[in-house]
């Protein structure tokens, strides 16, 4: 039996030596796996950071483009009152004065000024909002009064008190309108 014990002890010793030799490989393998996981996580973080940087750059480019596109908004709003007054002045000129030789030059000059102002608006992306006969759109029209109407469907614009304008795709000033209500 003593011989069996010696054989067993020798086998155990051999197993311990193999395990000791394998342990550094297992430890090295675990460390390698841990480093690969950290590398993958770091790569993912870098990709997220690059994507965020690209999103910020795009957002800044869009903001800069919007600033260039809509830079004249304040000035355009201010000049609309000039256009309104010119339109009212032209509308107030009676037909007989339009044909009178004494006023023909003045009327022609005012008409030319109105056309030039409209051309400047168009070149700068300022467009008049259509209103009459359309359904009330709270994004483009502001209802000022409701008027009974047998001809128009309720909610339809039947009177324009003040023209509204868009600058590019944005509302510059809503149209002030009168809306039909059920009679």
Tell me: the pLDDT tens digits for 154-177? Answer: 999 999 999 999 998 899 999 999
> Is residue 6 classed exposed, middle or buried when 0-12, 13-18 and 19+ CB atoms within 10 A define those classes?
exposed
Pairing of strands 157-162, 175-181: antiparallel
155 lies in the same domain as 165: yes
47 lies in the same domain as 126: no
74 lies in the same domain as 44: no
83 lies in the same domain as 149: yes
User: Could you read off the pLDDT of 70-83 as tens digits, one per residue?
Assistant: 788 888 899 999 99
What total number of domains does the chain contain? 2
Considering only 24-38, 78-92, 127-141, 147-161, which range has the smallest mean pLDDT? 24-38
93 lies in the same domain as 163: yes
Q: Max alpha carbon distance in the chain (Å)? A: 143
44 lies in the same domain as 76: no
User: Could you read off the pLDDT of 20-54 as tens digits, one per residue?
Assistant: 555 566 678 888 999 999 999 999 999 999 999 99
88 lies in the same domain as 110: yes
Average pLDDT, the chain: 87
155 lies in the same domain as 81: yes
54 lies in the same domain as 22: yes
Give the pLDDT confidence score for residue 118 in this predicted structure.
Answer: 93
Give the range of the structural domain holding residue 62, as residue numbers without chain letter.
1-69
94 lies in the same domain as 47: no
Given a cut of 80, whether residue 181 has pLDDT beyond it is yes
Q: Give, in degrees to the nearest 5, the angle at Cα 92 between 123 and 72.
A: 25
């Amino acid at each position: 039996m003593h011989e069996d014990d010696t054989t067993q002890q020798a086998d155990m010793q051999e197993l311990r030596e193999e395990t000791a030799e394998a342990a550094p490989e297992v430890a090295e393998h675990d460390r390698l796996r841990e480093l690969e996981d950290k590398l993958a996580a770091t790569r993912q973080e870098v990709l997220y950071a690059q994507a965020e940087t690209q999103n910020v750059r795009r957002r800044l480019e869009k903001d800069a483009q919007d600033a260039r596109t809509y830079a004249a908004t304040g000035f355009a709003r201010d000049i609309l009152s000039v256009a309104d007054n010119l339109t009212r002045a032209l509308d107030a000129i009676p037909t007989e004065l339009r044909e009178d030789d004494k006023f023909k030059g003045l009327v022609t000059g005012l008409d030319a000024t109105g056309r030039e102002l409209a051309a400047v608006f168009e070149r700068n992306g300022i467009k008049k909002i259509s209103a009459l006969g359309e359904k009330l759109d709270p994004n483009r029209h502001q209802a000022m009064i409701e008027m009974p109407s047998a001809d128009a469907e309720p909610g339809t614009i039947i009177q324009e008190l003040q023209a509204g304008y868009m600058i590019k795709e944005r509302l510059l000033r809503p149209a002030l309108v009168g809306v039909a209500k059920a009679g």
